[in-house]
Chain A
């Protein structure tokens, strides 16, 4: 009997999410391109002194092994840097905060 009976199901769900909901293609350290769910939300940090956007990028963490805060991720041709933690959830899905490098 396996000690993680739902791991395969979790992986299948993550695969299905990526296959159906991905809206951008990412590249990490020159590896194979993979689909990500990329979202952009308007934000006004510093009490509205700046008009900016918060960006998140979700995917199966196994597709970018070793990714950490400060690393670069190319999304749809634009170089982004990872801000904040990179720990995946219990299914292996990771939701990263990213911002444009330039």
Chain B
């Protein structure tokens, strides 16, 4: 499941709208001060089916877009927001680490935040799903 992170990160890094952005994964051990930045992280998963033969796992992937707070921040976020949705919504990762993942679907968009720390951002969450089969003992 976590192997999806690098695939989604690579896809975002290829976006022209994010050329000047730092795109990183939630598991990356990196300096998180450079901005603008897009971070993709797994926020957990729902188990939508569980039987003796296996389970259906539907992880949520959140993309957080953050820029320096300024009079241009909303415009920067809006442009990146549209690009990220265009890239990930309905994108099918296909087979990753032996599991076939369904197409990503945009599920939620958080309220934008214009923080007192001088950063502004917005986060959106996508979901996908795959079946994990039980091994035969």
Using CB atoms and an 8 Å cutoff, list the residues of chain A in contact with chain B. 43-55, 81, 83-84, 97, 99-102
Interface residue B129 (Cβ < 8 Å from any Cβ of A): no
Q: Which of B18-61 contact A (CB under 8 A)?
A: 26, 31-33, 35, 37, 39, 41
Question: How many B residues have CB within 8 A of the partner chain?
Answer: 21
Cα–Cα, bound, A38→B123 (Å): 31
**A54 CA to B116 CA, complexed, in Å:** 7
Bound: A53/B37 CA distance, A: 16
Question: Which B residues lie within 8 Å of A51 (CB)?
Answer: 31-33
Known: A83-B69, A99-B69. A49 touches B64 (CB 8 A): yes
- B118 is an interface residue with CB less than 8 A from chain A: yes
Q: Which residues of B contact A (CB under 8 A)?
A: 26, 31-33, 35, 37, 39, 41, 64, 66, 68-70, 113, 115-119, 121, 123
Contact between B117 and A45, CB atoms less than 8 A apart: yes
- For B115, the chain A residues whose CB sits under 8 A away are 45, 52, 83
Q: A83–B116 contact, CB under 8 A? A: yes
Q: Which of A46, A55, A97, A102 contacts B121 (CB 8 A)?
A: A46
Nearest first, the 6 A-B pairs at minimum CB distance are: A99-B118, A51-B32, A52-B117, A97-B116, A49-B39, A49-B64
A29 shortest CB reach to chain B, Å:
19
